[in-house]
Amino acid sequence: MTELATMNAPATTPAAKPHLPDAAKVTQVTHWTDRLFSFRVERPQSLRFRSGEFVMIGLLGDTGKPLLRAYSIASPSWDDGLEFYSIKVPDGPLTSRLQHIAVGDEIILRPKPVGTLVHDALLPGKRIWFLATGTGLAPFASLMRDPETYEKYDQVIMMHTCREVAELEYGRQLVESLHDDPLIGEMVAGKLLYYPTTTREAFPHMGRVTDNLASGKVFQDLGLPPMDPATDRAMVCGSLAFNVDVKAILEGFGLREGANSDPQEYVVEKAFVGDGI
């Protein structure tokens, strides 16, 4: 198509396909449900980031201007490639188009990683809780694959809640693959406790993260003591309502919110801006 357009164009016309600024080539795309997909791109050589951070990615909009959105990097900082885990919003300006990317396409990737879901923003502890709904799993997909997570903590608990079972599949396969991972398989063994739940379809464990924390069910199920600011640390990533409700529970356990500049016992990041779909 591009070749044809170029061939038919007058000699003075610039190339039909504009060269993307900060381009990254797509190397893999996996569709998990009609609302969720993940993809990998080549990692710009200059890009350094801390597991848990996010970057701005996107495509060229109709007007030729970059259409960018924040995305957590789902791959760990040691990985040669970059992975992202994405929603498909039917009429979303970016994801209505991004969901159609294919291997060999290019996306825009601004190489300026930032974010609060990083180890540096927490005081040392014994146990870390990763608390997520939906695509809020993405930063933890990075942190669960980072050796530093297992060097810093004796136990790592991943609580992930979605409405339906199929929405848990990306996380389930990722956790399963960790056990055979040559780099961190041994570190993960016995340390990573995975606690997926659903709220609207039958599953072995059900209920919202907030309800399972507040009722103490998750502590009972995993054989853990209730959260204690002396030992427990938490990172939270979900909708605004989820984050607000989880924060109240963590504060109830005596944990205080931290930041890069002021490490404390828990940190929070929005998984998206808006009320949900």
Q: Is 95 in the site for ligand FAD (CB under 6 A)?
A: yes
User: With contact defined as beta carbons under 8 Å apart, do 248 and 222 qualify?
Assistant: no
Nearer to ligand FAD, 163 or 217 (CB): 163
The one among 32, 49, 71, 129 contacting ligand FAD by CB under 6 A: 71
User: With contact defined as beta carbons under 8 Å apart, do 109 and 57 qualify?
Assistant: yes
Q: Is 172 in the site for ligand A2P (CB under 6 A)?
A: no
Q: 207 — phi, psi (to 5°)?
A: 110, 155
The burial of 64, by beta-carbon neighbours within 10 Å (0-12 exposed, 13-18 middle, 19 or more buried), is given as: exposed
User: With contact defined as beta carbons under 8 Å apart, do 114 and 54 qualify?
Assistant: yes
Q: How far apart are alpha carbons 31 and 191 in whole angstroms?
A: 30
Q: How many beta carbons lie within 10 A of that of residue 144, not counting itself?
A: 24
**Strand 232-238 to 192-198 pairing:** unpaired
Q: Is 7 in the site for ligand FAD (CB under 6 A)?
A: no
Tokens of 122: 């927490």
Q: How far apart are alpha carbons 62 and 237 in whole angstroms?
A: 31
Q: How far apart are alpha carbons 242 and 234 in whole angstroms?
A: 14
CB of 134 vs ligand FAD, minimal distance in Å: 5
Q: Is 272 in the site for ligand FAD (CB under 6 A)?
A: yes
Q: Interaction with ligand FAD in 213-252: which residues (CB under 6 A)?
A: none
271 binds, among ligand FAD, ligand A2P, none (CB under 5 to 8 A by kind): ligand FAD
Q: Name the one range near ligand A2P by CB under 6 A: 90-98, 118-126, 157-165, 176-184.
A: 157-165
Q: How far is CA 61 from CA 20, 65, 101, 128, 249, in A?
A: 11, 5, 14, 40, 41
Tokens of 133: 């709904």
245 binds, among ligand FAD, ligand A2P, none (CB under 5 to 8 A by kind): ligand A2P
199 binds, among ligand FAD, ligand A2P, none (CB under 5 to 8 A by kind): ligand A2P
The one among 51, 75, 135, 198 contacting ligand FAD by CB under 6 A: 135
The one among 89, 166, 183, 206 contacting ligand FAD by CB under 6 A: 89
The one among 185, 216, 252, 276 contacting ligand A2P by CB under 6 A: 276
Tokens of 232: 């427990």
Q: How many beta carbons lie within 10 A of that of residue 242, not counting itself?
A: 24
Nearer to ligand A2P, 116 or 133 (CB): 133
State the amino acid at position 158 in one-letter form: M
CB of 41 vs ligand A2P, minimal distance in Å: 25
142 binds, among ligand FAD, ligand A2P, none (CB under 5 to 8 A by kind): none
Q: Name the one range near ligand A2P by CB under 6 A: 36-44, 93-101, 204-212, 255-263.
A: 204-212
Contacts with ligand FAD by CB under 6 A lie at 54, 69-72, 84-87, 89, 92-96, 134-135, 138, 269-277
